[in-house]
Structure 1
Amino acid sequence: MKKLLIPLFAIALLTGCKTANVSDGTSNISIKHDKAFSAAYKMINKEDLKKNLYVIASDEMGGRDTGSPGQRKAGEYIVNYYKSLGISYPKALNSFYQKVPSEFMKKRGGGNLPDSENILAFIEGSEKPEEIVVVSAHYDHVGTKNGVVYNGADDDGSGTVAVMEIAKAFQQAKKAGNGPKRSLLFLHVTGEEHGLFGSEYYSENPVFPLANTVADLNIDMIGRDDPANRGKQYVYVIGSEMLSSQLKIINEAANKRTNNLELNYKYDDLNDPEQLYYRSDHYNFAKHNIPVAFFFDGIHEDYHKPTDKPEKIDYPLLEKRTQLIFATAWDLANRSERIVVDKK
Structure 2
Amino acid sequence: MKKIVILLYTTLLVVSCTSSQNKKTLKNANAAIEYAKTITAAELKEALYIYASDEYQGRKTGEPGQKKAVEFIKNHYIATGIPSPIAEGDYFQEIPTSYFSGDIKDSENVLAYIKGSEKPDEVIIISAHLDHIGISGNGDINNGADDDGSGTVAILEIAEALKKASDKGYTPKRSILFLHVTGEEIGLFGSRYYTDEDPIFPLTNTVANLNIDMIGRVDPKHKDNRNYLYLIGSDKLSKELHNVSEAVNKRYINMDFDYTYNDDDDPNRFYYRSDHYNFAKNNIPVIFYFNGTHADYHRPSDTPDKIQYDLLETRARLIFHTAWELANRDERVKVD
Normalising by structure 2, what TM-score?
0.90
Question: For residue 222 of structure 1, what is the aligned residue in structure 2?
Answer: 215
Give the CA deviation at 1:253.
1.0
Which secondary structure does the structure 2 equivalent of 1:195 belong to?
coil
Bigger drift between 246-255 and 57-66 goes to 246-255
1:338 and 1:199, CA in 2 relative to 1: closer, same or farther beyond 3 A?
same
Question: For residue 298 of structure 1, what is the aligned residue in structure 2?
Answer: 292
Q: Give distance in 2, aligned partners of 1:158 and 1:40.
A: 20
Matches within 5 A, 1:168-183: 168-183=160-175
Please tell me whether the aligned partners of residues 83 and 89 of structure 2 are also in contact (alpha carbons under 8 angstroms). Answer: no
Matches within 5 A, 1:14-93: 30=25, 34-91=29-86
Question: For residue 186 of structure 2, what is the aligned residue in structure 1?
Answer: 194
1:317-344 CA-to-partner distances (Å, cap 9, x unmatched) read 11111011111000000000000001xx
1:280 aligns with 2:274: yes
1:116 aligns with 2:107: yes
Question: For residue 144 of structure 2, what is the aligned residue in structure 1?
Answer: 152
Question: For residue 234 of structure 1, what is the aligned residue in structure 2?
Answer: 228
The code of the aligned residue for 1:158 comes to S
Give the CA deviation at 1:239.
0.1
5+ residue gaps, structure 1, are 1-27
Please tell me whether the aligned partners of residues 137 and 188 of structure 1 are also in contact (alpha carbons under 8 angstroms). Answer: yes
1:259 aligns with 2:262: no
Give the CA deviation at 1:316.
0.6
Give the CA deviation at 1:255.
0.9
Which secondary structure does the structure 2 equivalent of 1:258 belong to?
helix
1:30 and 1:269, CA in 2 relative to 1: closer, same or farther beyond 3 A?
farther
Question: For residue 339 of structure 1, what is the aligned residue in structure 2?
Answer: 333
The code of the aligned residue for 2:280 comes to A
Aligned mate of 2:120, from 124, 129, 135: 129
5+ residue gaps, structure 2, are 1-22
Which secondary structure does the structure 2 equivalent of 1:169 belong to?
helix
1:122 and 1:248, CA in 2 relative to 1: closer, same or farther beyond 3 A?
same
1:98-144 CA-to-partner distances (Å, cap 9, x unmatched) read 01111111xxxx21100000000111000000000000000100001
Q: Percent identity?
A: 56
1:160-184 CA-to-partner distances (Å, cap 9, x unmatched) read 0011111011101110011100000
Q: Give distance in 1, aligned partners of 2:251 and 2:314.
A: 12
Question: For residue 203 of structure 1, what is the aligned residue in structure 2?
Answer: 195
Please tell me whether the aligned partners of residues 93 and 207 of structure 1 are also in contact (alpha carbons under 8 angstroms). Answer: no
Please tell me whether the aligned partners of residues 225 and 231 of structure 1 are also in contact (alpha carbons under 8 angstroms). Answer: no
Please tell me whether the aligned partners of residues 140 and 193 of structure 1 are also in contact (alpha carbons under 8 angstroms). Answer: yes
1:162 aligns with 2:137: no
Please tell me whether the aligned partners of residues 86 and 200 of structure 2 are also in contact (alpha carbons under 8 angstroms). Answer: no
Aligned residues: 312
Give the CA deviation at 1:254.
1.1
1:138 aligns with 2:129: yes
Aligned mate of 2:313, from 298, 319, 336: 319
Which secondary structure does the structure 2 equivalent of 1:332 belong to?
helix
